[in-house]
Amino acid sequence: MKVLWGLGKVLTLLFWAVALINIFKPLINPFDLLINLAGSLLLLTHVLELLLFNSSLRDRPHAWRDRLYILVVGILHVQTLRNSSKRDDSHA
């Protein structure tokens, strides 16, 4: 499952790279609007995820780094947080 979460993170970072390139050097006409729309909707979704999971991040040692990761890759980072916290509880 780690491979799928990692692949999802890589693909999300690749999309953000395309969206940033599209801002500075727009693609041909229908695609530039679609990429801008998809990028803004994805950013809105990640901001909402950040607001929803903010209370669960307060006890983490590097909460600001986790917030930045959620802003960039969204729920894919939240899923890895849940797996790491379950793993830490099982070692106790």
pTM for the predicted model, two decimal places: 0.79
pLDDT digits (tens, 9 = 90+) for 50-77: 999 888 888 888 889 999 999 999 988 8
Phi/psi-derived region of residue 60, left when phi > 0, alpha when psi is between -120 and 50, beta in every other case: beta
User: Residue 78 in contact with residue 52, Cβ under 8 Å?
Assistant: no
The pLDDT score that the predictor gives to residue 5 is 87
Q: Which helix (H) or strand (E) holds 18?
A: helix 2-24
pLDDT category of residue 12 using cuts at 50, 70 and 90: very high
pLDDT category of residue 87 using cuts at 50, 70 and 90: low
